[in-house]
Amino acid sequence: MASHSKGKRTDRNRAKICGRCDHGVDQKADADLIRELYEMVTNLDVLQLSDGEKCTLALFGDIARRLAIANPSLDDPLQGDGVVLIDELELHMHTSWQRKVISMLKKTFPNIQFIITTHSPQILGEVDHDFNVYALSRNGSDIQVVQTTGMFGMDSNSILEDKMETDSVSAIIKQKTEEMYSLLELKDFDGAENIADEIDELTQNRNIDTVRARVIIRRGRYKNNDLSNP
C-alpha cells in the first residue's frame, strides 16, 4: 500500500513538473515536487546505460581501483604510475565518445603509459605527439610492425584511405565516381551528368564529388557554347 501511494504521488508530481515546464518551478512549489524533480534528474540505474557507457565506466573504474590498491599511501591514487594495455578501445563506443576517450584517459590518469589497439579512425585522429603510433600488418606468416606518422587533426576519411588503406565510401559509389570523372576527362558532359544523377539518388544528394562534377560540367558547357558562337 505504501509503495502504491508513493507511486501515485510520483505520478502526480511528474504531472505537476510537466505542467510547469513552460513556466519553470516557482519558489512556492511544494517540497515533494522539488524532491521529485531532483530524484528524476539525478537517479540513473547503471542498467539504463548503453553498452558503450557501461564499458567505458567499467574501464575507468577498473583502472582507478587498481591504482588505489597499488598506491595506498598516495593522497590521490589517480596520480599513480603504471602500464595499461587496452585492446579495441573503441568497443561498443559511440563515435562521439571515440573522439573524446584518449584525452579523457590522459587527463584522468596522467602518469599511466597506455598501450592501445584500435581500428577506429576517430580515435587515431585524436592521437597527438605524446603517442607513438605503429601499424601492424600480416605478410604471410609474419607480422610487420611499422611506426607511422601522427594522425592528429586528420579527418576520418583521410585516415581510412591514406593510413589504413581502406575505402571511405562503398565500392559501388567509388566505381561510379571513377567512371564519372573518366567521362569528364573525355568531355562527355551528358554521360557524366547521368552518372552524377545516379550517385545523388543513391546517396540522397550527400556526395561532394557530384557537386564538383556539376561545376565542371557547367563550365565545360559554357566554354563549348562560347566556341560554337564566336
pLDDT by residue for the chain (230 residues), tens only, comes to: 444 554 555 455 445 444 444 444 444 445 665 566 556 556 667 777 778 888 888 899 999 999 999 999 999 999 999 999 999 998 878 888 888 899 999 999 999 999 999 988 889 888 888 888 898 888 888 888 888 877 888 888 788 877 776 766 778 888 999 999 999 999 999 999 999 999 999 888 888 899 999 999 999 888 877 555 55
CB 197 within 8 A of CB 214: no
What pLDDT shows up at residue 211? 93
User: Which cell is 7 given?
Assistant: 507511486
Number of H helices, E strands in the chain: 9, 4
97-100: long-range contacts at Cβ-Cβ below 8 A with a sequence spacing of 24 or more? 97/52, 97/56, 98/122, 98/123, 99/123, 99/125, 99/126, 100/126
What pLDDT shows up at residue 20? 45
What is the per-residue DSSP string for 10-52?
HHHHHHHHHHTTTT---TT--HHHHHHHHHHHH---GGGS-HH
What is the per-residue DSSP string for 100-148?
HHHHHHHHHSTTEEEEE----HHHHTT--TTS-EEEEEEETTEEEEEEE
Question: Nearest-5° angle of CA 119, CA 125, CA 130?
Answer: 105
**Distance between CA atoms of 87 and 117, rounded to whole angstroms?**
5
Q: Give the amino acid at 84.
A: V
What pLDDT shows up at residue 212? 92
What pLDDT shows up at residue 217? 94
Domain 48-163, CATH class in plain words: alpha beta
What pLDDT shows up at residue 75? 92
pTM over 0.85, yes/no: no
CA dist 221 → 144, 180, 199, 213, 217 (Å): 51, 16, 21, 12, 6
What pLDDT shows up at residue 11? 53
Buried b (16+ CB within 10 A) or exposed e, 97-132: bbbebbeebeeebeebebebebebbbbbbbbeeebe
H/E element, 62? helix 51-70
CB 161 within 8 A of CB 167: yes
What pLDDT shows up at residue 47? 78
Estimate to the nearest angstrom the gap between the alpha carbon of 8 and the chain centroid: 41
End-to-end CA distance of the chain: 94
